[in-house]
Amino acid sequence: MMLNFLRKLRQNNMNGKYLKYAIGEIVLVVIGILIALQINNWNEKRKGEAKTKAILSQIIDELKLDVEVLQSVNKAYLQKDSLITVFKNSDFSQPLLSNLDSSEFHDLIRTYMPFEVHDRGFQLLMNHTDELDEDFSENLEQLIFIYQDAIPMVIQYMDGMLSILSKHKEHQYQNYEWYSKVSLFHEYSEEEYRYYMYDPIYKNYMTVYREMYVNILINSRWTVDLALKAIVQLETKLELEKSLDEFLLAAPQELVNSMIGTYRFEEKTSDLILENRNGQLYESTFEGGSFFGRAFDTQYITGELRYLGDSLFYHDVRSNLRLNQDGSISLEDIFGSKITSIEKK
């Protein structure tokens, strides 16, 4: 009996060792699986971060292209407006055919600046929003606003301009014999001169044409400003080298410091408050609100005033602020015409 007891005891000990060994093996397998899952999750996260960075970097590059094109568009239409201003202020008492050769007077409503949005990166982002890190959710909302709200407004008025140009050309070739002479043989006539200088229908077309490019200018300024802010924020988050030196000019600190203070608008009871925040001219008149109270408040939110050069700062989509030599500030429209003066209190 003693032998049987010892044999069973030895067998139980062996079973216990095997059980401990099995449990140890299971624990090691589980730990291995957990480590493998952690490594896999880390790799997936790293791949996701790399994909996010690649997509957002592409969006940055494409936004910079769009900003450059829209800046060129704005420059062209500002020049066109100066020509129309010359036309409005001219005296055409004598029909001089030589005037038809001048760009100031000959068919002022023919300029069209095309714009094709570069949005491949944005479309790619829209297809991978579920993979986007939560840290970029605010940036995603900002980009959606740019591509689905701001840019479509620019394109809407560009389409309107194309329609006006098409209708005007149709009006010309259907109603005037001189159209073929000019287009085919470059022969100018007094009838053509009188059309461009005196015809009320032509002036109506010119008026609508101007309305189109004014809206293009306003919405382009809005889009450019939103795009520049989005690029700066993305480059900061992605720790990329800053690439907007050609668009974001550094305002001289003497200029910024000379403008800080409280100003009173002519014929307005509200004050305008300018500060120096981290070297940037900042308007804190109504923090986070609109000074003018127009529609689309997001276009008029106060904050950093982007320097445009020549003592001029971007104020909102319709106006700029300029420091005058006498120390006063002028609010100017996008064509450089003074809207009102702002005296320091």
Task: Give pLDDT, residue 14.
Answer: 53
pLDDT at 77: 92
Residues 264, 268: Cα–Cα separation, whole Å:
7
Q: What angle do CA 57, 60, 62 make, to 5 degrees?
A: 110
Give CA angle at 179 (173, 181), nearest 5°.
Answer: 140
Mention every residue, 6+ apart, whose C-beta is less than 8 A from residue 56. 121, 125, 136, 139, 234, 238
Residues of the chain with CATH 2.40.128: 253-344
Within 10 A of 210 (CB to CB), how many other CB atoms are there?
18
Rounded Cα distance, 234 and 281, in Å: 22
Q: Which two tokens stand for residue 108?
A: 């002022």
Give the CATH class of 253-344. mainly beta
Q: Which pLDDT value is given to residue 123?
A: 95
Burial-class residue 9 by CB neighbours within 10 Å (0-12, 13-18, 19+): exposed
Contact yes or no for 261/274 (Cβ under 8 A): yes
What's residue 71's pLDDT?
Answer: 94
Can you say whether the dihedral through the CA atoms of 127, 133, 139, 145 is positive or negative? positive
Judge whether 142 and 226 are in contact, CB under 8 Å.
yes
pLDDT on residue 187 = 82
Maximum C-alpha span of the chain: 140
Q: Do the Cβ atoms of 76 and 110 come closer than 8 Å?
A: no
CB-CB contact of 297 with 290 (8 Å): yes
Cα Rg for the chain, rounded, in angstroms?
Answer: 33
- Report whether 105 contacts 197 (CB < 8 A): yes
**Low-confidence residues of the chain, pLDDT below 50?**
5-6, 9, 100-101, 103, 288-300
pLDDT for the residue numbered 129: 84
Residue 90, φ and ψ in degrees, nearest 5 = -95, 155
Give the tens place of pLDDT for each residue, 191-239. 888 888 888 999 999 999 999 999 999 999 999 999 999 999 999 999 8
pTM to 2 decimal places = 0.80
Tens of pLDDT, residue by residue over 269-293, are 567 788 999 888 998 776 544 444 4
Predicted confidence at residue 5, as pLDDT, reads 46
Between CA 332 and CA 315 the distance in angstroms is 9
Residue 266: its pLDDT value, please? 62
The pLDDT of residue 213: 95
Q: What is the pLDDT of residue 296?
A: 42
